[in-house]
Amino acid sequence: MKYLLMMMFAVVSLVAQQGAPSSGVAVGDPAPSFRLKNIDGKYVSFDDYRSSKGLVLVFTCNHCPYSVKYEDRIIALANETAKLGFPLVAINPNDPVKVPEDSYDNMKVRAKEKGFTFPYIVDETQEVAKQYGAKRTPHVFVVTNSSGSWKVAYIGAIDDNANDADKVESRFVLDAVKSLASGAAPAVTQTKAIGCTIKWKE
């Protein structure tokens, strides 16, 4: 037990010293492919979006108050980015054993209640969240598609004010998508935000 504690301390120290966590993708990296089940029972993957310029992947869930705060904004964002050739896909990475509210059945209920116009897919094994390095909900990854070669172009927050949508000054994801859609590099490619930790399986 004592050994374990010392190990944990070493890990904490390491993270504290080295800065950004090493796991997951960075901007410019190839975007990991996925094939995950949507609430309608069908599977969603990059293949379904061959004609898109890219995708807005949002790791989110039902229960997290920060995700809830952003729910209406995610719905609005999905409409805006889809018009620019970047459909939005919501991915729930949470362990439903830890948070029953985030179960597959409850995802269906929430999507219906809120009238989601986009896929809401479940990352049952949590592998996709791990490959991307998603840390919290909501956590956004904008990926671009260049003839089937998918790359990460933006990682981070939806905008700069979680508490008050009226006081938002920078809409990071929309700005990034606008730039990418016009063939330019986004001015901001990485932002941090407060959020709920992803509920990993034990």
Our CB check for other proteins shows the closer of 126 and 161 to be: 161
Nearest to 106 by CA among 119, 118, 117, 92: 92
CB of 160 to other proteins, least distance (A): 5
CB of 85 to other proteins, least distance (A): 25
Q: Scan residues 73-132 and list those touching other proteins (CB under 8 A).
A: none
Is-contact 186 199, C-beta < 8 A? Answer: no
Q: Using the 8-state DSSP alphabet, how is residue 48 labeled? A: G
Among 77, 91, 153, 193, binds other proteins (CB under 8 A): 193
Structure tokens at 54: 């890219």
Is-contact 24 11, C-beta < 8 A? Answer: no
Rounded to an integer, what distance in angstroms lies between the CA atom of residue 180 and that of residue 83? 13
Query: Could you say whether residue 5 binds other proteins (CB under 8 A)?
Result: yes
Contacts of 14 (CB under 8 A, 6+ apart): none
Our CB check for other proteins shows the closer of 35 and 192 to be: 192
Structure tokens at 187: 């001015």
Structure tokens at 124: 């049952």
Spell out, one character per residue from 138 to 157, where the chain touches other proteins: x when CB under 8 A holds, - when not.
------------------xx
Q: Scan residues 43-72 and list those touching other proteins (CB under 8 A).
A: 65-66
Pick the stretch among 1-9, 72-80, 104-112, 175-183 that binds other proteins (CB under 8 A): 1-9
Structure tokens at 148: 């089937």
Among 52, 103, 126, 191, binds other proteins (CB under 8 A): 191
Is-contact 195 138, C-beta < 8 A? Answer: yes
Spell out, one character per residue from 157 to 176, where the chain touches other proteins: x when CB under 8 A holds, - when not.
x--xxxxx--x-x--x----
3-class secondary-structure state, position 101: helix
Residues lying near other proteins in the complex (CB under 8 A) are found at 5-6, 8-9, 12-13, 15-16, 18-21, 65-66, 135-136, 156-157, 160-164, 167, 169, 172, 191-198
